Structures are given as structure tokens and as C-alpha cells.
Structure 1
Amino acid sequence: MRYSTFGKTGYEVSSLGFGAMNLPGVPLEQARAALNYALDEGINYIDTAAGYRNSEEIIGETISHRRSEYFLATKTNNRDYKTAKEEIERSLDRMKTDVIDLLQIHYVNFVQDFKAAMEEDGAYYAALEMKNKGHVRFIGITGHRPELLAKWISKGQFDQVLFHLNLAQPFALQELIPEANRQGMGKTAMKPLSGGFIQPVEKAIRYPYSQDVHTVISGMVSVEEVRENIAAMRVEVGAEERSELESLALQLGSHNCRRCNYCSCPVGVAIPDVMISSRIRETLGLLPKGNGFYDRMKDKILACAEYEPCKEKPLCEEKCPYHLPMQQTVQAAAGYYVTK
């Protein structure tokens, strides 16, 4: 396992982090085994959030007795001081700890959300107060708009930033990572499989592993998945492989969707998932989870072409800050059901 100094925090963190978002979907004993195996194998970065159902409680129940062995990161999705502070206090109780190593202001994608969180009665000041009291060590920010995150972190108010970085979403390389480096921040990459679309797993993991980040959090739910993710990082990425991975990322990222979720579909198509998986589906094929997504989404994707209000001007495209051809991509995805 590779370790590196997590920006100006001074902590040494493992190159692979344990993303605990999906643990509520498996039996407690399976979650317990996965988390403890991860710690046994040297993973020391545990990522969760107050909004991930009972993920924090699972961490408290299964590994709080090993608290000194891991760097603990959680998140609040609230924007105001009062509810954010209450949530941070609940997180401490749920995870059975006196201190959260990293408290992140979570899912900040809109300018108005950032402004609200940074007001004097905002969530940032709740985190700052808890830091001054010794219950939070560092404050971070997460989001899906890398160019906005680059702007927001430039004032030096955050210790860490969490962002998408995978073969289908390489966009953080352009502005965000360079700005984080200028600020001396911890850099956490998430969604190496882009939510279960990218295969093979080893290739997917090795792309963000090859980039300038401190830790890559992967949403693991079993000992087998932890073992598979660790195996992908056993060998360093050489120059030739890195060049190949970066070329593939340019190809798979040509959809240009950041998953900012500004768009919405009147017939219920999960547009970002279709956009991001479009190039993956054509080039690499999909993981079983990705195929399951398309199976569930079939009726909605097929309905897109017949939805009358969108025939003249797609309603989803009006909301996209990147002006992407979403309707065209969704309708092209209907071919999945012909070729399957």
C-alpha cells in the first residue's frame, strides 16, 4: 500500500480509501468483515456521510474499537449553522468517537449553496466551531463541478477537496487539482468505477491511482471487493501504462458530463448516468451493475423520443451549464436494447 502526506494536514493516508456509502445495503457482519479486513491490510482512510443511511452507525458498531488506526472523514449536506452543527454532533455519537478527522461540506454544486454554507450562519462556521472545540480536525468540501470547486477553494478556507476522477470523468485534472496543489490541500478522488459502470475493475482503479491524488475512495462492501481493489494498486503505474490510460480517459470522457445534476428529465431518465456510461458502453462494455441500470431504465429511455413537449426543444438541455446534447445521447442509448 502506498502512503502519502495528506496535504497540509500532515497525516499519512493510504492510496486506497474505504468508501462506506454502500455498507447499509449488506448484512452487518459482512460490513464488519470488510471494514476490519481493510484495516488489517493497511487501508487507513474511511469515508462516509451523515446522509448515507446508517453508514455512520455501522462504522461505530464495527471498527470504533480500532479508532486510532484510521483517518475518519464524514460529511454534512446541510447549509445552515444550526442543522449542520446538530448533524456533526450526531455523527460523533453514531461513530462512537470524540473527534472527526475531516468534516466535509457536502455536495456543493450550486453557487447559492456555496454562499449559504459560507455565511456567518452557515454550515462552514458550524464546522469551524466544532474544530475550535477539538471535535473536528480539518474541514473539506465536496462537489461535482470541478471548475467551481477550483474557484471556491482558492481562498484557502479548506484543508481538503473531494471530487470525481475516473476514466469517464477526468475533468478535475484541468483546473481543480492544480488549484488544490497551490493551496496545499488533501486531494480525495471518488467514484473510480463511476458508480459501477467502468470495467475491468483493475484498469478503472489504476487510472486515478496514476494521477496526482492522495487517496482514491472506492465503495466496497465485501472482503472480496477490498482484496480486488488492493490488488489493483500492488504495482505502480509506469509511463507507458499511464499514457494509455490517459488516452482512454480522453475517449471515455468525451461525453463532457460532470454529473452536476442540474438537468432533470420529465419522463424520469437518469441523464448523467446515461451520458457518462455512453462512451463506456460503446468502448469497454458495462459491469453487471451498469447493465442492471439500463434494464431498469428501459421504458424511460425508450419513452424519450416520443415525449411531445421535448420534440421541439429538449427541456433537459435548457438546464445544462455545459450545453450538452443530452436528448441525442439518450435516444442513441435506445440502441442498447437492440444489440443486447
Structure 2
Amino acid sequence: MRYTTFGSTGYRVSSLGFGAMNLPGVPLEQARAALNYALDEGINYIDTAAAYRNSEEIIGECISHRRSEYFLATKTGKRDYKSAMEEMERSLDRMKTDVIDLLQIHYVNTVQEFKAAMEENGAYQAALEMKRKGHVRFIGLTGHRPELLAKWISKGQFDQVLFHLNLAQPFALDELIPEATRQQMGKTAMKPLSGGFIQPVSKAIRYPYSQDVHVTISGMISVDEVKENIAAMREEVGDDERRELEALATELGAHNCRRCNYCSCPIGVTIPDIMISSQVRRTFGLLPKGDGFYQKQKDKILSCADYEPCKEKPLCQQQCPYHLPMRQVVMEAAGYFG
């Protein structure tokens, strides 16, 4: 396991982080085994959020007795001081700890949300107060708009930033990672498999591992998945492999979707998933989870072409800050069904 100093925090963190978002979907004993095996194997970065159902409670139940062995990161999705303070206090309770190593302002994707979180009575002030009280060590920011995140971190108010980085979403490399490096911040990459679309896992994990990040968070739910992820990082990435991975990321990222979720579909098509998986599907095919997504979305995808209000001017495309051809890609996805 590779370890690096996490920005200017002084903490040494493992290159692979345990993403606990999906633990609420498995039996408690399976979650317990996965978390403890991860710690046994040297993973020392645990990532969760107040919004991840009872994920924080699972962490408290399963590994709080090993609290000194891991760097604990959680998140508040609240934007105002009072609600954020209450959520952080609940998080401490649920995880059976008196200190959160990293508290992140969660899922900030619009200028309005950022302003609300940063104003005098905003969530950021609550995080600062918890830091003064000794219940939070560092403050971070997460979101899906890398170019906006790059601007928001430039004033030096955050210790860490969390962002997408995978073979189908390499966009953080342009502005965000260089700015975070200039600010000497902790750099945490998430969704190396893009929610279960990118295969093979070994290649997917090695792409963010090859880039200038400290930790790659992978959502793991079993001992076998922990083993698979650790194995993918066992060898360092050489120059030839790095060039191969970067060329592949250029190809798979051609959809240009950042998963900012500004778009919404009146018939319920999950547009970002289709946009991001479109290139992956053509090149590698889909993992079982990705195939399951397409089967669940089948009726909606097939209905897109006939939805009258969108025929001349698709509603989703009017909301997209990147002006992407969403309806065209969704209609092409209909070919997936034969």
C-alpha cells in the first residue's frame, strides 16, 4: 500500500480509501468483515456522509473500537449554520467518536449553494466552530463541477477537495487538481468505477492511482471487493501504462458530462449515467451493475424519442451548462436493447 502526506494536514493516508456509501445495502456482519479486513490490510482512510443512510452508524458499530487506526472523513449536506451543526453532532454520535478528522461541505454544485454555505450563518461557519471546539480537525469541499471547485478552493479556505476522477471522467486534471496542488490541499478522487460502469476493475482503479491524488475512494461492500481493489494498486504505474491509461481516458471522456445533475428529464431518464456510460459501453461493455441500470431504465430510454415536448427543443439540453447533445445520446442508447 502506498502512503502519502495528505496535503498540509500532516497525516499519512493510504492510496486506497474505503468508501462506505453502499454499506447500508448489505448485512451488518458483511460490512463489519469488510471494514475490519480493510484496516487489517493497511487502508486507513474511511469515507462516509450523513446522507448515506445509516452508513455512519455502521462505522460506529463496526470499527469505533479501532478509532486510532483510521482517518475519518464524513460530510454535511446542510447549507445553514444551525442544521449543519446539528448534523455534525449527530455524526459524532453515530460514529461513536469525539472527533471527525475531515468534515466536508457536501455536494456543492452551484454558485448559489456555495454562497449559502459560505455566508455568515452558513455551514462553513458551523464547521469552523466545531474545529475550534476540537470536534473537527480539517474542513473540505465536495462537488461535481471541477471548474467551479477550482475557483472555490483558490482562496485557501479548505484543507481538502473531493472530486470525480476515473477513465470516463478525467476533467479534474484540467484546473482542479493543479489548483489543489498549489493550495497544498488533500486531493481525494472518488468513483473510480463511475458507479459501476467501468471495467475491468483493475484498469479502472489504476487510472486515478496514476494521477496526482493522495487517496482514491472506492465503494466496497465485501472482503472480496477490498482484496480486488488492493490488488489493483499493488504495483506502481509505469510511464508506458500511464500513457495508455491517459489515452483511454481521452477516448472514454469524450461524452464531456461532469455529472453535475443540472439536467432533469420529465420522463425520468437518468441522463448523466447514460452520457458517462455511452463511451464505456462501446469500448468495453458494461459491468453487471451497469447492465442492471440499463434494464431498469429501458422503458424510459425507449420513450425518449416519442416524448413530444422534447422533440424540437429537448428540455434537458436547455439546462446543461456544457451544451451537450443529451437527447441524441439517450436515443442512441436505445440500440443497447437490440
Q: Same fold (TM over 0.5)?
A: yes
Q: 1: CA distance between counterparts of 2:163 and 2:63? A: 26
1:65-99 per-position Cα deviation (integer Å, ceiling 9, x unaligned)? 00000000000000000000000000000000010
Helix, strand or coil at the partner of 1:43: coil
Helix, strand or coil at the partner of 2:306: coil
Letter of the aligned partner of 1:117 in structure 2? A
Provide the residue aligned with 2:259 in structure 1: 259
1:245-302 per-position Cα deviation (integer Å, ceiling 9, x unaligned)? 0000000000000000000001110000000000000001110000000000000000
Q: 1: CA distance between counterparts of 2:266 and 2:64? A: 44
Q: 1: CA distance between counterparts of 2:81 and 2:119? A: 9
Provide the residue aligned with 2:239 in structure 1: 239
Residues 1:188 and 2:215 aligned together: no
Q: 1: CA distance between counterparts of 2:34 and 2:240? A: 33
Q: 2: CA distance between counterparts of 1:190 and 1:13? A: 15
Provide the residue aligned with 1:213 in structure 2: 213
Provide the residue aligned with 1:331 in structure 2: 331
For normalisation by structure 2, the TM-score amounts to 1.00
Letter of the aligned partner of 1:80 in structure 2? D
1:113-167 per-position Cα deviation (integer Å, ceiling 9, x unaligned)? 0000000100000000000000000000000000000000000000000000000
Q: 2: CA distance between counterparts of 1:195 and 1:95? A: 25
Residues 1:100 and 2:114 aligned together: no
Q: 2: CA distance between counterparts of 1:205 and 1:107? A: 23
Q: 2: CA distance between counterparts of 1:243 and 1:122? A: 43
Provide the residue aligned with 2:280 in structure 1: 280
Q: 2: CA distance between counterparts of 1:13 and 1:311? A: 50
Provide the residue aligned with 1:87 in structure 2: 87
Task: State the Cα distance separating 1:224 from its structure 2 match.
Answer: 0.1
Letter of the aligned partner of 1:253 in structure 2? G
Task: State the Cα distance separating 1:196 from its structure 2 match.
Answer: 0.3
Task: State the Cα distance separating 1:228 from its structure 2 match.
Answer: 0.2
Helix, strand or coil at the partner of 1:79: coil
Q: Kindly report which structure 2 residues correspond to 1:140-159, keeping only aligned pairs within 5 A, or say none.
A: 140-159=140-159
Q: 2: CA distance between counterparts of 1:316 and 1:50? A: 29
Q: 2: CA distance between counterparts of 1:115 and 1:268? A: 29
Q: 1: CA distance between counterparts of 2:149 and 2:277? A: 24
Q: 2: CA distance between counterparts of 1:167 and 1:157? A: 29
Helix, strand or coil at the partner of 1:334: helix
Provide the residue aligned with 1:56 in structure 2: 56
Q: Kindly report which structure 2 residues correspond to 1:114-125, keeping only aligned pairs within 5 A, or say none.
A: 114-125=114-125
Q: 1: CA distance between counterparts of 2:218 and 2:95? A: 20
Q: 2: CA distance between counterparts of 1:35 and 1:337? A: 38
Residues 1:133 and 2:129 aligned together: no
Q: Kindly report which structure 2 residues correspond to 1:297-312, keeping only aligned pairs within 5 A, or say none.
A: 297-312=297-312
For normalisation by structure 1, the TM-score amounts to 0.99
Task: State the Cα distance separating 1:110 from its structure 2 match.
Answer: 0.5
Q: 2: CA distance between counterparts of 1:78 and 1:170? A: 28
Q: 2: CA distance between counterparts of 1:240 and 1:335? A: 35
Helix, strand or coil at the partner of 1:227: helix
Q: 2: CA distance between counterparts of 1:14 and 1:285? A: 31
Task: State the Cα distance separating 1:306 from its structure 2 match.
Answer: 0.2
Helix, strand or coil at the partner of 1:72: strand
Provide the residue aligned with 2:11 in structure 1: 11
Q: 2: CA distance between counterparts of 1:76 and 1:255? A: 30
Q: Kindly report which structure 2 residues correspond to 1:69-84, keeping only aligned pairs within 5 A, or say none.
A: 69-84=69-84
Provide the residue aligned with 2:34 in structure 1: 34
Unaligned runs of 5+ in 1: none
1:199-245 per-position Cα deviation (integer Å, ceiling 9, x unaligned)? 00000000000000000000000000000000000000000000000
Q: 1: CA distance between counterparts of 2:285 and 2:28? A: 32
Provide the residue aligned with 1:230 in structure 2: 230
Provide the residue aligned with 2:203 in structure 1: 203
% identity of equivalent residues: 84
Supply the RMSD in Å over aligned alpha carbons: 0.2
Following TM superposition, where does structure 1 have runs of at least 4 consecutive aligned residues deviating by more than 2 angstroms? none
Task: State the Cα distance separating 1:39 from its structure 2 match.
Answer: 0.1
